[in-house]
Amino acid sequence: MSKLVSLKDAVSTLVHEGDVLYASGFTHLIPFAVGHEIIRQGIKNLVLARATPDLIYDQMVAAGCARKVIFSYMGNPGVGSLRRVRAAIEAGELAWEEYSHFSMISRLQAGASGLPFMPMKQTGAPDLVRNNPNYQHVTDPYKGEEVVVVPPLKPDVAVVHVQRADAEGNAQVWGIIGEQRLAAFAAQRVILTAEEIVDEAVIRSDPNRTLIPALVVDAVCHVPYCAHPSYTQGYHDRDNAFYLAWDQISKSEEGVGAYLQEWVYDLPDRHAYWEKLGSEVHQRLHAGERWSDPVNYGEY
Amino acid sequence: MIDRVAYNPQELMVVNAARLLREHDVVFVGVGIPNLACNLAMRTHAPNLQMIYEAGVIGAQPSRLPLSIGDPSLVTGSLSVCSMYDVFTLYLQRGNVDVGFLGGAQIDQYGNINATVIGDYQHPKVRLPGSGGSMEIAAWANRCYIITPHQRRRFPARVDFHTSIGFLSGGDARRKTGVRGGGPQAVVTNLGLLQPDQDGELILTALHPGVTFDQVQENTGWQLKQSPDWKRTEPPSQEELRILREDLDPQRIYI
């Protein structure tokens, strides 16, 4: 059964005020178009969870969508500070819950696997554990050593961008796969966005590449260039120049306000956004070709 | 004084960090200066060094200098790509990583690192990025190296927040936590090298050419001890600088 809908409809149906939202993607495949659609629809009081809030949550926090962030590295990757989230935290206007990358991902692993908690070896670092009551210690029943545990993270809604999916939501991802699969399995509802919607036969031609099966997907949206200014391996490059530009834009609320007006509120969708970026940017971010060697699955 | 080559503080730190790496080391690495140090070591004394990028890429052969930890050029032509959970468990937690690189806003007398907050955690004066991967890297890599400019505000006697641990309060405090890794083995700065003594206290073990102990002390927030066996580092060689400037970072993004 096809789950193809517009991104606008997927967001209005599946993202609700107050939800815990996980927009997945570690540097790669960050679903900016979905963040922008949530901003456009004015959905508020979200709890925004991501290992790296990145620019997508900086923009959503600046737009007033969030009451809390859950994160493990709050920076502008490769550039410096994540200014709007940081300013909101320093001003006491935004609640936060903090982990290391590994404990954040372990929470998703527990959520995705249906486990009550996930154990990790000790790191000996006392302060985060003391400040976040979600870190607990239990005794390994076999060796008697103390291990650290974190509870499952089960977002109300996860957003996952992929290279290609069929209309039902069987999705294939390559390049850095981060926490894409865990986020999809951990969440109650999943919005899948894809660069390309392909025939089911294409998915069946290479089943090992399918990280997310249709059975956990609620909506499939065809959103090319969804990840800009992050990237989609094999489709377009990361816009490092924009990450640097954001460092300037985000220095003031006014700067961010003007950006959101021009690039989010005044545009109907991602297609208009990509067209507005213009051909110079398209050329600069063009991904060349380097194909993998096909494998033989065999005929039986 | 013949053949004396000019170099900048970044180049000096990269070259000295590279010299600490050994043949066959498996190194957990991000982008920037540590990435340059690994690539320099591979092109000089450690051709069989193996790099694992935190984003889950093993055996990368990037065609350009990566600018973010998840740069697409790391993936194309690499040996393997795995999930974040896999890179932290199968590689780091399992004990398959020899060397981790760390940085932070503050490094204290016992090599503990703060990358989280200046001031009180609940009401931070300055909110920094936080752990990322560093909490586990500091605990579980066999050896850790810290690369940072030498400034007094970066070297307080005690960190405001333990994002990742060195030797905690010294003595056997680290060992008692049961973490598997050996902790920080050196702090490479633009002035010299600090290394832990038997008590886990960072002491001065090397000065770069032309640097005095007093200069280092002025930029360190505790009464710094100087190792009786302290050494003078060799200046970056012409070949090291050529590789850095011509091959690794020709656009001078990090150096």
Assess whether the previous peptide bond of B235 is cis (omega < 30° from 0).
no
* Tokens standing for residue B183: 């902790």
For residue B68, pLDDT over 60 is answered with yes
Q: Which candidate from A26, A123, A126 shows the least CB-CB separation from B55?
A: A26
Taking only the tens place, the pLDDT of each residue in A53-92 is: 999 999 999 999 999 999 999 999 888 899 999 999 999 9
B234 catalytic? Reply is no
| Helix A54-62 vs helix A253-260: crossing angle, to nearest 10 | 100
Both ends of chain A: CA-CA distance in Å? 28
Across the strands, what pairs with A46? A66
Total count of residues recorded for chain A:
300
Number of H helices, E strands in chain A: 12, 14
Residues of chain A by 3-state class (helix, strand, coil), percent to 5? 35, 20, 40
Residue B228 domain flag:
yes
Spell out the domain ranges in chain A. 7-103+153-284, 117-150
Taking only the tens place, the pLDDT of each residue in A150-182 is: 999 999 999 999 999 999 999 999 999 999 999
Chain A residue with Cα closest to B124: A90
Taking only the tens place, the pLDDT of each residue in A226-236 is: 999 999 999 99
pLDDT of residue B37: 94
Taking only the tens place, the pLDDT of each residue in B152-180 is: 999 999 999 999 999 999 999 999 999 99
DSSP A294: P
Q: Which candidate from B70, B116, B178 shows the least CB-CB separation from A145?
A: B178
pLDDT of residue B104: 85
CATH, domain range A7-103+153-284: 3.40.1080.10
Residues 6+ positions from B211 with CB-CB distance below 8 Å: B191, B192
DSSP A208: G
- Check: CB of residue B109 under 8 Å from CB of residue B154: no
Interface test with A, best of B121, B127, B169 (most A CBs within 10 A): B127
Across the strands, what pairs with A229? none
Residue B97 domain flag:
yes
Write down the ipTM of this complex.
0.96
**Average pLDDT value for residue range B2-30:** 89
**Average pLDDT value for residue range B91-99:** 96
| Burial class of residue A90 in the structure, from the number of CB atoms within 10 Å of its CB (0-12 exposed, 13-18 middle, 19+ buried) | middle
Taking only the tens place, the pLDDT of each residue in B42-55 is: 999 999 999 999 99
Residue B253 domain flag:
no
DSSP string, B1-34: -TT-----HHHHHHHHHHHH--TT-EEEE-SSHH
For residue B4, pLDDT over 80 is answered with no
Q: Is B38 on the interface with A (CB under 8 A)?
A: no
Inter-chain residue contact B121 with A90, CB threshold 8 Å: no
Domain containing residue B236: CATH number: 3.40.1080.10
Residues of chain A with Cβ-Cβ distance to B116 below 8 Å are 98, 127-128
Inter-chain residue contact B84 with A101, CB threshold 8 Å: yes
Range of the domain at B193: 9-248
Chain A residue with Cα closest to B159: A127
Distance CA(A228)–CA(A287), nearest Å, equals: 13
pLDDT of residue B253: 87
Residue B3 domain flag:
no
Tally of domains within chain B: 1
Residue B217 domain flag:
yes
pLDDT of residue B1: 43
For residue A106, pLDDT over 70 is answered with yes
Q: Is B58 on the interface with A (CB under 8 A)?
A: no
Inter-chain residue contact B57 with A176, CB threshold 8 Å: yes
Q: Which of B54, B136, B201, B240 is catalytic?
A: B54
Token pair 């025939």 is found at: A199
Q: CB neighbours (10 Å) of residue B193?
A: 26
Residues 6+ positions from A243 with CB-CB distance below 8 Å: A55, A76, A77, A78, A79, A229, B68
Q: CB neighbours (10 Å) of residue A149?
A: 17
Residue B48 domain flag:
yes
pLDDT of residue A78: 82
**Average pLDDT value for residue range B12-37:** 93
- Check: CB of residue B7 under 8 Å from CB of residue B236: yes
Angle, CA A234 vertex, CA A233 and CA A235 arms, to 5°: 95
**Average pLDDT value for residue range A190-209:** 98
- The overall average pLDDT reported for chain B is 94
**Average pLDDT value for residue range A218-226:** 98
Interface test with A, best of B67, B135, B177 (most A CBs within 10 A): B135
Interface of A with B in 179-238 (CB under 8 A): 179, 181-182, 231, 233, 237-238
**Average pLDDT value for residue range A14-23:** 98
CB hemisphere CA count around A82 (13 angstroms): 27
pLDDT of residue B207: 98
- For the entire predicted model, the pTM comes to 0.95
Residue B30 domain flag:
yes
DSSP A132: -
Chain B residue with Cα closest to A77: B68
Chain B residue with Cα closest to A97: B122
pLDDT of residue B2: 45
